[in-house]
Structure formats: C-alpha cells, structure tokens
Amino acid sequence: MRAISTTILICCGIFLAACNNASQPVSSGNNTAVPQKSEKTETVIAHTTENQTAPMGNTGSAPNGKTKWTQSGDPVDTKQMDAEIAKAESVVKSKPNDADAKKSLSEAYYKRAVALTDARQYASALGDYRRTLKYDPDNAQAKNWVEQIVSIYDSMGRESPPEGQEPPPLPYKPEK
C-alpha cells in the first residue's frame, strides 16, 4: 500500500509540474511572434454551503483573471456528493454538538475528496480533506492525503493553497 501511495505521489508531482509548464509560450527559434490561444475565463461554481469563496483580490490574481490557485485535472460530476454535503451541513447547523452529524459530514467531504483526487483535482481535494479533518480530526486517511498533497507542492517548490483558499472543483459539463 505504501508503494502505491508513493507511486501516486510521484505521478501527481509529475502531472502538476507538467501542468505548470504547459502554460509556457512555445518559441519557434526564428524570433517571430507566435500567436497565443485566447484562454476562456473559468467560472467558479460554489459546491458547498460552507463559507468558501474563490480567492480574489491580492491573493495572486493574474491579469487573465485566473488566480494563483487555479484548479487543474479532469471535471467530475460531484452533484450527488454536493447534495450529501449540503444535507449533512444543515444537520450539523441544527445540531452542532451531535457527534454522529459531524461524522456524517466528515464522511461526505471525504467521499468527494477521494473523487477529486481520482480526477487529479488536487488543490480542491486538499480543501475537502481539510474539511474532513475539521469534523473528524482523527481521520488518518484524510491526514495522510493532506500531508501527501502538501509534500507534492513542496517538492515542486510551490506553495500549497492555504486552508480556506483552495479552489472549488472544476465545473462538470455532461456529454450530450
């Protein structure tokens, strides 16, 4: 199991490094300007009722509208998991001291975090793993994933998103 986790970490690091380099302009060597593709501005969809907003202002905004914590990976349908989270959050709000309600919310966040990890949306998954730990501080798998994702960022010499500034999951558009 440890070897699989290490392999996943290495693959994640390579992927994140490749994504970081993919936005670099290509030089043709003859000093002529290479036309750049115009990038679509990604929309941000709130996937939880928790007070989470996309980073804005002086948190690393770039001229093209993207932020330092722009998400990468594959879009994944989180609609059912989002509904489970919203339902569990409402129960926790109505019963803030109920251990079972907190455990249920923690499990809902963990389930979505795993789906986001599988879709290579590591920055968003990091946020859900952290929220898992907020409601279940003893969740060993969530602790392990937080450490792994942060160490990948560290190994690439990049800062990981601070707690509360993780981007939301990528919007999912079903195929027609």
pTM confidence score: 0.62
Question: Tell me, what's the pLDDT at 151?
Answer: 95
Q: How far apart are CA 162 and CA 150, in angstroms?
A: 10
> Average pLDDT of each block of 10 consecutive residues along the chain (176 residues)?
55 52 45 44 36 35 44 86 96 96 97 95 95 97 97 91 91 80
CA dist., res. 123 & res. 113, Å (int): 10
SS3 143: helix
- Nearest-angstrom CA–CA distance, 22 and 65: 18
The pLDDT of residue 72 is: 75
Rounded Cα–Cα distance for residues 174 and 44 (Å): 17
Cα 116 from Cα 74, distance rounded (Å): 9
Q: Which residue ranges form the domains of the chain, and what is each CATH number?
A: 76-170 (1.25.40)
